[in-house]
Chain A
Amino acid sequence: MRRQRLLVALLLAVGCAGLKPTAEMSEYAKEYKTQEGQQTKLRYPELVGNAEAWDAKALTAQDDKEEEAMAYYGRVAWLWWESAQLRSQAQDLDAERKQLEKDTEQVKKELAEARKREKLAKATVDRMQQIIAIESKVAADNAEVTAAREKIADALEALRLAQAVDADVHAKSTFAAAEAKLKLATEALGKNKPKDATTFAIEAKASADAAKSEAEPKYTSVAADQAKLNRQKSLFDALAVVSGAERAMVEGGVMITIVEAFSTTGVAIDPAHTASFDKIAETAKNYGEFSLVIEGHTDNKGNKTKNLQLSESRAKSVLSHLATQGVSPSRMNAVGKGSAEPVADNKTKEGRAKNRRIEILFASGQ
């Protein structure tokens, strides 16, 4: 009798204890709560949603003491969770790579400058060594020789200044002529013909000066193009503050795209997107040299003409909003494109959502 009672008590205890979650379930529960886990949920709600659904089933199975079902549901939940985590990590890796690409571009620029510096110094050293080699052969006390040496030194400096503005690239023939004359001058000095040396050196300096004048506008223009490009890159970076928008460097400027900024048929900006447009306005004010082309786009649902009108009204609505935020209307232009320029497949729900968009082109001036 006593044994029977003990057995019943033992069975009851086992029955009430419940199942222990599997390692995958425990790991999921732990990772889910972390900051990284919540980030994953924000980035991949669909995948995490699946994981949550399966985990909920696993927990129910745990309560119902269905061990096999619990293990199965827990495993599937874990597979979805792991997928989401890996994709989120991949996104971080992509972001790190993009930053590294930018840094690499900067280092490339430094490398180009260092190469230019090296080339210039080496060319000048070569010329100096030629002159010094010749000089050592001729009498130093002769006044004519001294005058020739001074003129050669002047020509040498003029060549260096010309090369500093890339005259060897932008004024190739004039620069080559200057170099040839300098060579003749040093050779004449070597042959102890200081008068000829002086004449050639003066001509060399004149050619080097001409090459410098010829190259300077092109050099400045290249530098200006580079400055414009740098400004575009800076604008691109500044627009990163606009959440939920896509940015792209395009020919002549920077494009920012915001999808589904309006209710289905409305022309007033959805309050959820107001902050994004405010940030665009703030950035636009800091980059006053860019004009703004605001384009409204729709999907292909409904009447074409109505879509065109709707897209134009929405573009104008964005223009008005930016104007109220302090962007000068004279810098802006609003255009409606209707459904004529889709960027995604209109056959799918996701594609249509991508097509319902506002594109703002920050165009750099000429």
Chain B
Amino acid sequence: MGKLYERARSRPSLAVLAFPLIAALALGGPAVGRDDEDDPEAKLQAFTVQLKEHEVADTRHAATSELGKAEALRDKARTLTEKRKDRELLDRTLDELEATLALVGAKIVHAQAKAELDEQKAKMKEIQAELTKTKAAADEAEKKQAELAGKIGGAK
């Protein structure tokens, strides 16, 4: 796929264009122009639900700007659906909305991973500081023990 794709950059042909499309369809994920996703109203409804879910999930405000864009695209798609004209523009709007929602999802996941890593780093730092302090206290106590041992003879 990589080599084929490289060729596509230099001279796109219909076969080359179709290849990633077919691959994406075979994988069963969101792709361009799937037959079972041709109903724009159903698509819009699904994306609206997804958008709502992302808005709730974005507790760290990692995708505020993208959520705003997605809302605008949803509203645009809603208007176009109601007017029932310019199908091509509606399809484009929905495709862009789908991709924007994917980006929102990825930003939320990324922010979550980053926050968890930062939290773990803070935890590690705290424990390391505690370790340094405790080691110093233990060394001090053992030193004192060694000093006293000589005074009472026998105890180590």
The residue of chain A having its C-beta at the shortest distance from the C-beta of B27 within the complex is A46
A316-357 CB contact bits vs B (8 Å, 1 = yes)?
000000000000000000000000000000000110000000
The residue of chain B having its C-beta at the shortest distance from the C-beta of A85 within the complex is B106
B80 to chain A: which residues have CB within 8 Å? none
| Cross-chain contact A107 with B131 (CB below 8 angstroms) | yes
| Cross-chain contact B142 with A152 (CB below 8 angstroms) | no
B101-117 CB contact bits vs A (8 Å, 1 = yes)?
01101110110111011
| Cross-chain contact A83 with B128 (CB below 8 angstroms) | no
A75 to chain B: which residues have CB within 8 Å? 96
| Cross-chain contact A53 with B153 (CB below 8 angstroms) | no
Q: Which of B29, B107, B152 contacts A46 (CB 8 A)?
A: B29
B20 to chain A: which residues have CB within 8 Å? 49-50, 52-53, 56
- Total A-B residue contacts, Cβ distance less than 8 Å: 179
| Cross-chain contact A89 with B110 (CB below 8 angstroms) | yes
CB B25 to nearest CB in A, in angstroms, measures 9
A273 at the interface (CB under 8 A from B): no
| Cross-chain contact A150 with B131 (CB below 8 angstroms) | no
| Cross-chain contact B138 with A160 (CB below 8 angstroms) | no
Q: Which of A46, A76, A117 contacts B95 (CB 8 A)?
A: A76
The residue of chain B having its C-beta at the shortest distance from the C-beta of A129 within the complex is B148
A83 to chain B: which residues have CB within 8 Å? 99, 102-103, 105-106
Kindly list 20 other residue pairs between chains A and B, CB separation below 8 angstroms, not including A50-B99, A111-B130, A118-B141: A45-B23, A46-B24, A46-B30, A49-B24, A49-B27, A79-B100, A79-B103, A82-B103, A90-B106, A90-B112, A90-B114, A96-B117, A97-B120, A100-B121, A104-B123, A107-B127, A132-B151, A156-B155, A157-B156, A160-B155
- A residues lining the B interface (CB < 8 Å): 29, 38, 41, 45-47, 49-50, 52-54, 56-57, 59-60, 63, 72, 75-76, 79-80, 82-87, 89-91, 93-94, 96-97, 100-101, 103-104, 107-108, 110-111, 114-115, 117-118, 121-122, 124-125, 128-129, 131-132, 135, 149-150, 152-154, 156-157, 160, 349-350
- The 5 A-B residue pairs with the shortest CB-CB distance in the complex, in nearest-first order: A153-B154, A121-B141, A79-B99, A118-B138, A86-B106
- B residues lining the A interface (CB < 8 Å): 1-2, 5, 8-9, 12, 16-17, 20-21, 23-24, 27-32, 92, 95-96, 99-100, 102-103, 105-107, 109-110, 112-114, 116-117, 120-121, 123-124, 127-128, 130-131, 134-135, 137-138, 141-142, 144-145, 148-149, 151-156
